[in-house]
Amino acid sequence: MAVIRNPRKNALIAASLVAPFVLTFALVFAYPTFQVIRLSFTDSPLIGDGEWIGLDNYWRLLSDRLFYTSLWNNGYFLLLTVVPTTALALGMALLVNKLKGRWQALVLALFFLPYILPVSVVTEIWTWMLDFQFGILQPVITLFNGDPVAVFRNPYWVMPMIALVTVWWVNGFNVLLFIAGLRNIPRDLYEAAALDGATARQRFLRVTWPLLWPITVLVLTLQLILQLKIFDQVYLLSQGGPFNTSYVPLLLVYREAFQLNEGGYASAIALVIFVIILVVSVLQFQLLRIVGRR
Amino acid sequence: MRGARKVENLVLTVCGLTAALVWIFPIYWAVVTSLRSESHVVSDDAGLLPDGFNLTAFTDALFNTQIVRWYFNSIGTALIITIGVIVSCMMCAYAISQMRFPGRRLLYGIVLASFMIPAQALVVSQFILMSDLGLVNSWAGIILPQLIVPIVIIVYKQFFDAVPKEMREAVILDGGGEYVLLFKLYLPLNWGITTALAIITFIGAWNAFFWPFLVTTTEDMMTIPVGITQVNDVFGVAYARLMAVALLAAMPVALAYLIFQRRVTEAVMISSGVKG
């Protein structure tokens, strides 16, 4: 049923409904989006005007060794986090899914809890856990290494340890997504499989895994995007050191803009990072869907 | 057969609980540490089990840092962000879902597209904007960029789309306009998702680090996740106090989660595009 009303009045009412969002969006999102593109072609400092310099910032970026180092480090970080947290979360979700009633709720809540902590709380807890002198995990590290390690000041330990902290922090979110996926698998599929005499392994490989694949793709993609733009935990745990071994692209943006007063150059880096995230995540998403269709 | 089933369940429950306790150990350890004296924390006889109930670290944190001020900033900004996001996104989603007006499709397209742009890509130009507006190091500066959460519009639109048309017509026959429809019909029907979205928006705003870290320049304007990183700098290594401060910072969101567990879980699932 169409509401018989003056279309002009209707448009005015609609405008008043969308106005709060649209005006805020225009001011703090759309305008800065255009600005960051414009700035990337100038030599502006952070505050103040600059000259139009065309593609110079992008050429400069191409020969910035720290940029390549940071990309390489972030790639290594992806290897250490994306697939491991997905596999771990799947295992945890399968375990939680087998539990009954209150125990299930309790175990799930405990797995999820770290995810809702502020990042600086997470890094402070782990700084203490891994403290060189008094950290409770140093005996464990000594077991593997022979000596205690100042992990966030050691070029070999720093990335794996930031990855460990990150996985601990975000894993609960992935567990939750897998649980949702598991609950959406119709029960009668398992009953039918059991009637056909399928073993637990076959039931997992033929029913659970294929039906869970869309969620796995989602988790992998969300994690890829998230871990491509890390800043907080790196800044708080190692500040990119030692010897730039944990330097990541967003740290470069932060340093250029807010410490070296290079607004234009920082904008160019931010844009390149954005394009990389977009390309990599679209590629991965499509690739994983093709793999799933086979 | 039933006996074997029971044993299997018991084994699984024990496994699950053990894994969960190992997983949560860092939080347990933070609590144990925060309840010790600084000298006991680093002494050789500090065991794994809680011993004593020393609140010095907490009183220290409350009286010798600006934590109360950071609490005030966090509560204020997070509440305003939550209300702002929920109200503006709900109104916008209602218009997109239920009304016909020029530019409707384009608007929804922009909302979907902005979902792809990472907020981090914009911090430089957002900072310059805040500086031009004179809002650096103010609540407004902390709040404004955090008001754009496109996913809330997307979720609301889905829920509004699902409201039966007959209910709408009944209200219109009674002479109700669009605002009456939204606040007397669509909102009450969707209180569940509204509280769920409000809780995760609040948790997200409380936990936000990168932007508040950039836009605040003095300690008295910091939100709590940014402020607590200063404690370290001022006092050197004092782990009992550091853990007390960290726990105080996490308390509101941890409580919100424990109280509204199911709502939080629901909201996290729905806003990631999966139905639980």
DSSP sequence for B188-241: HHTHHHHHHHHHHHHHHHHH--HHHHHH--SGGG--HHHHHHHHHHHH-S-HHH
| Interface with A, mutate which of B101, B111, B124 (most A CBs under 10 A) | B124
Q: Do A180 and B275 touch (CB under 8 A)?
A: yes
What pLDDT shows up at residue A199?
Answer: 87
- For chain B, say whether A231 makes contact (Cβ under 8 Å): yes
Task: Summarize pLDDT for B198-210 with one digit per residue, the tens.
Answer: 999 999 999 999 9
Contacts of B109 (CB under 8 A, 6+ apart): none
Cβ count within 10 A of residue A43: 17
C-alpha distance from residue A183 to each of A93, A112, B256 (Å) = 10, 17, 25
Residue ranges of domains in chain A: 63-293
Which residue among B88, B169, B210 sits closest to A1, beta carbon to beta carbon? B169
Contact B98, A2 (CB under 8 A): no
Give B-chain residues touching A258 at CB under 8 angstroms.
127, 214
Q: For tokens 């405990």, what's the residue?
A: A110
Q: What is the pLDDT of residue A206?
A: 87
A1 three-state secondary structure: coil
Which of B15, B129, B253 is opposite residue A116, by nearest beta carbon? B253
User: Is the model more confident about B117 or about B1?
Assistant: B117
How high is the pLDDT of residue A157? Answer: 95
Angle, helix B261-271 to helix B150-161, in steps of 10 degrees: 90
- DSSP-derived letter for residue A42 is B
d(CA B7, CA B18): 16
**Cis amide prior to A242 (ω within 30 degrees):** yes
Q: What's the CA angle centered on A170, arms B218 and A205, to 5 degrees?
A: 170
Residues in chain A: 294
Give the nearest chain A residue to B272 (CA atoms): A177
User: Token pair of B146, please?
Assistant: 């955090």
DSSP state of B184: I
Range among B4-8, B116-120, B150-154 rated most confident? B150-154
Is it the case that residue B214 has pLDDT exceeding 70?
yes
* Chain B residue at shortest CA distance from A113: B254
Q: What percent of chain B has pLDDT over 70?
A: 97
Chain B residues with beta carbon closer than 8 angstroms to that of A39: 124-125, 128
Residues A63-293, CATH architecture: Orthogonal Bundle (1.10)
Out of A173, A257, A274, the one facing B121 most closely (by C-beta) is A274
Which is nearest to A47 in space by CA: B214, B128, B18?
Answer: B128
A200 contacts on B by Cβ (under 8 Å): none
Nearest-by-Cβ selection for A103 from B13, B172, B206: B13
Contact criterion met (CB below 8 Å) for B257 and A113: yes
Q: Which residue of A has its CA nearest to B250?
A: A117
List Cα–Cα distances, A220 to A18, A69, A289, B200, B268, in angstroms. Answer: 34, 24, 11, 22, 16
Query: Chain A closest CA to B128's CA: distance in Å?
Result: 6
Cis upstream peptide for A210 (omega within 30°): no
Residues of B in contact with A267 (CB under 8 A): 124-125
User: In chain A, which residues have their Cβ closer than 8 Å to the Cβ of B196?
Assistant: none
Q: Alpha carbon of A190 to those of A185, A208, A211, B4, B275: distances in Å?
A: 9, 9, 12, 20, 20
**Inter-chain touch A177–B274, beta carbons under 8 Å:** yes
In this predicted structure, the answer to whether residue B119 has a pLDDT above a threshold of 90 is no
- Cα distance from B88 to chain A (closest Cα, Å)? 5
Least CB-CB distance to B42: which of A46, A117, A134?
A: A134
pLDDT at B60 over 90: no
Q: By the CB < 8 Å criterion, does A111 face chain B?
A: yes
List per-residue pLDDT tens for chain A, 294 residues long. Answer: 445 568 888 899 999 999 999 999 999 999 999 999 999 999 999 988 889 998 999 999 999 999 999 999 999 999 999 999 999 999 999 999 989 889 999 999 999 999 999 999 999 999 999 999 889 999 999 998 889 999 999 999 999 999 999 999 999 999 999 999 998 888 888 888 888 888 888 888 888 999 999 899 989 989 998 999 999 999 999 999 899 999 999 999 999 999 999 999 999 999 999 999 999 888 888 888 888 766
3-state DSSP call for residue A52? strand
Provide ipTM, 2 decimals.
Answer: 0.91
Q: Which run of H or E residues covers position A155?
A: none
Inter-chain Cβ pairs, chain A and chain B, closer than 8 A? 257
- pLDDT for residue B274 is more than 80: no
User: How much is the pLDDT for A1?
Assistant: 42
Q: Tell me the nearest-neighbour CA distance from A118 into chain B, angstroms.
A: 4
**DSSP β-bridge partners for residue A52:** A42
Q: Do A270 and B123 touch (CB under 8 A)?
A: yes
CA–CA distance, B135 with B140 (Å, rounded to integer): 6
Using the beta-carbon criterion (under 8 Å), do B127 and A46 form an inter-chain contact? yes
Is the CB of A118 less than 8 angstroms away from the CB of B107?
Answer: no
- Say what the pLDDT of residue B116 is: 81
Average pLDDT over residues B188-203: 93
How high is the pLDDT of residue B157? Answer: 95
Q: Which amino acid is at A217?
A: V
Q: Residue written as tokens 């700035």? A: A39
- Residue the block writes with tokens 């900072």: B127
The count of other CB atoms within 10 Å of the CB of residue A106 is: 16
CA terminus-to-terminus distance, chain B: 32
Tokens of A59: 């050429």
Of B24, B225, B273, the CB nearest to A113: B24
Taking CA–CA distances from B117, the nearest residue in chain A reads: A274
Model confidence, pTM: 0.92
Domains along chain B with CATH numbers: 2-59 (no CATH), 66-271 (1.10.3720.10)
How far apart are the CA of A273 and the nearest CA of chain B, in angstroms?
8
Average pLDDT of the residues of chain B? 91
Question: B16-32: per-residue pLDDT in tens?
Answer: 999 999 999 999 999 99
Contact B125 A119 (CB under 8 A): no
Distances from the Cα of A179 to the Cαs of A95, A98, A108, in angstroms? Answer: 10, 11, 9
CB-based contact, A125 to chain B, within 8 Å: yes
Predicted pLDDT at A263 = 93
Inspect the interface and report whether the beta carbons of B12 and A105 lie closer than 8 Å: no
Give how far A7 is from chain B: nearest CA, Å: 8
Helix (H) or strand (E) run with residue B55 in it: none
The pLDDT of residue B232 is: 67
Chain B nearest-CA distance from A24, in A, is 7
Distance between the two ends of chain A, CA-based, in angstroms? 46
Nearest to A14 among B30, B101, B243 (CB): B101
